[in-house]
A = this chain, B = another copy of it.
């Protein structure tokens, strides 16, 4: 895919492809600063960050000892959080100082919130007083809230201004944010009352009043709102930027879509990784970090696997006398686990996008049960016949078929109910659902199959 992208964007030459990575690495090895500057030419800071994530620590150190480009601040803020502390260590104080001063305050907040001690102080110390105040203020809001995401620099206007007044004001203002898409109208108490898009303002007469041009969808967000709800609102209502207010309803900042998009992307990643039993994980983690993240989840799985084994051990007699059961029993468990994971994943996704609510819960539960029943009967027939032919015993085939129906029914039910219950209990449904669902389908699968076999065959 990268190759295609590379070819298609070739004339722009603003992207990172394996060839470019190779050329940068060669330049770093050559120790020639000018050559490095040349191969980096036109590369976006996000791509330089990606490059740094794809090489190892010694490579990053060599890169920063050679590179004197002025995008260090942007590269830092694009970089994977796990690597920032390391890279900050490679920058001398003057360089760090310059890098940090170039950033918007919301990017500085994002940078310092994971740092501690000396590094945090170094970054805060590099800021001008007004920016430092803004960053420290943002850090007083809890992590993962709108207050941490917002930029304090907002373009506002009194409610009664005209388009002409606003355009003149903007033109005379030396200190505007890098990117802004709206003018936010505020009342005398500084409470936001409406957003006017710049496009709409530009197409209006100078004499038009801003309050007659406000957008229909206007959703101020409280600074203590979770960033997940912020991302939801941006996605649901197609917002580009929206004001942030304190508990008194007064304007304290603005969140723009690029920040919301990052949150949304992170939420997706979290759901995906948690469903797979990985809390977090990136390509730049080392072996020990990776083990530390994955081992606990495997340990939980070991516990549930042992539970399933204990169920099996209750049926040692029938297993010893009919070895076909040992051969066939993983099929029942595997089918149940897969069907459960299907129902579960659809449910977790729907909870995240708020498509599964108390309004349609019962209908969805009913659907999952019916789906489990239909799939169960279908595979019961197939496996009944296979079991019969394979081991020449219609009874084994019948036991296998009945166990399949029971387990796929249970899988559908567990797949929908477990995430819903976790959500109600205020847990992240993605976090533990997978383990619970496969535990249920393993235990029920083995129990139904071997229990029925014992009853019929012994």
Using a CB–CB distance below 8 Å, which chain A residues touch chain B?
A: 1-2, 4-5, 8-9, 12, 14, 18, 21-22, 44, 46-47, 50, 53-56, 155, 167, 170-171, 173, 176-177, 179-181, 197-199, 202-206, 217-220, 222, 225-226, 228-229, 232, 234-238, 240, 257-258, 261, 264-265, 268-269, 271-273, 275-278, 281-283, 285-287, 290-291, 294-295, 297-299, 301-302, 304-306, 308-309, 312-313, 316, 319-320, 323, 326-331, 333-335, 338-339, 341-342, 344-346, 349-350, 354-360, 363-364, 367, 370-371, 374-375, 378-379, 382-383, 386, 423, 438, 442, 446
Known contacts: A238-B258, A323-B316. The answer to whether A360 contacts B229 by CB under 8 A is no
Q: In the bound complex, do residue B298 and residue A204 qualify as a contact, i.e. CB atoms below 8 Å apart?
A: no
Partner of A357, one of B2, B294, B344: B2
Q: In the bound complex, do residue A272 and residue B271 qualify as a contact, i.e. CB atoms below 8 Å apart?
A: yes
Nearest 10 interchain pairs by C-beta: A276-B345, A198-B198, A326-B326, A268-B268, A54-B360, A305-B334, A21-B359, A305-B331, A281-B346, A170-B202
CA distance A278 to B301 in the complex (A): 23
Q: In the bound complex, do residue B327 and residue A44 qualify as a contact, i.e. CB atoms below 8 Å apart?
A: no
Chain B residues with CB below 8 A from A173, complex form: 203
Q: In the bound complex, do residue B269 and residue A272 qualify as a contact, i.e. CB atoms below 8 Å apart?
A: no
Partner of A54, one of B12, B22, B355: B355
A44-B217, A198-B199 provided; 9 other pairs, C-beta below 8 A? A53-B355, A54-B355, A171-B205, A177-B199, A278-B346, A299-B379, A301-B338, A308-B331, A334-B442
Chain B residues with CB below 8 A from A350, complex form: 282-283
Nearest Cβ in chain B — how far from A192, in angstroms?
11
Partner of A330, one of B5, B8, B333: B333
Nearest Cβ in chain B — how far from A441, in angstroms?
11
Q: In the bound complex, do residue A330 and residue B308 qualify as a contact, i.e. CB atoms below 8 Å apart?
A: yes
Known contacts: A240-B181, A342-B276, A356-B283. The answer to whether A5 contacts B229 by CB under 8 A is yes
CA distance A225 to B167 in the complex (A): 38
Chain B residues with CB below 8 A from A220, complex form: 12
Q: In the bound complex, do residue A345 and residue B46 qualify as a contact, i.e. CB atoms below 8 Å apart?
A: no
CA distance A254 to B33 in the complex (A): 38
Known contacts: A275-B276, A308-B330. The answer to whether A180 contacts B204 by CB under 8 A is no
Known contacts: A171-B204, A355-B282, A367-B286. The answer to whether A46 contacts B308 by CB under 8 A is no
CA distance A358 to B312 in the complex (A): 45
Partner of A371, one of B282, B291, B423: B291
Q: In the bound complex, do residue A272 and residue B374 qualify as a contact, i.e. CB atoms below 8 Å apart?
A: no
Q: In the bound complex, do residue B323 and residue A319 qualify as a contact, i.e. CB atoms below 8 Å apart?
A: yes
10 contacts between A and B (CB under 8 A): A12-B219, A54-B360, A167-B167, A198-B199, A238-B258, A268-B268, A272-B275, A278-B346, A302-B382, A304-B334
A356's nearest neighbour on chain B, judged by CB, is B283
Chain B residues with CB below 8 A from A198, complex form: 181, 198-199, 202
Q: In the bound complex, do residue B291 and residue A8 qualify as a contact, i.e. CB atoms below 8 Å apart?
A: no
CA distance A56 to B446 in the complex (A): 37
Q: In the bound complex, do residue A14 and residue B331 qualify as a contact, i.e. CB atoms below 8 Å apart?
A: no
Q: In the bound complex, do residue B359 and residue A54 qualify as a contact, i.e. CB atoms below 8 Å apart?
A: yes
A180's nearest neighbour on chain B, judged by CB, is B199
Nearest Cβ in chain B — how far from A53, in angstroms?
6
Nearest Cβ in chain B — how far from A202, in angstroms?
5
Q: In the bound complex, do residue A55 and residue B360 qualify as a contact, i.e. CB atoms below 8 Å apart?
A: yes
CA distance A72 to B106 in the complex (A): 38
Chain B residues with CB below 8 A from A374, complex form: 287, 291
CA distance A238 to B5 in the complex (A): 17
CA distance A39 to B203 in the complex (A): 34
Chain B residues with CB below 8 A from A305, complex form: 330-331, 334-335
A265's nearest neighbour on chain B, judged by CB, is B235
Known contacts: A176-B199, A236-B47. The answer to whether A225 contacts B272 by CB under 8 A is no
Q: In the bound complex, do residue A327 and residue B316 qualify as a contact, i.e. CB atoms below 8 Å apart?
A: yes
Partner of A379, one of B298, B304, B330: B298
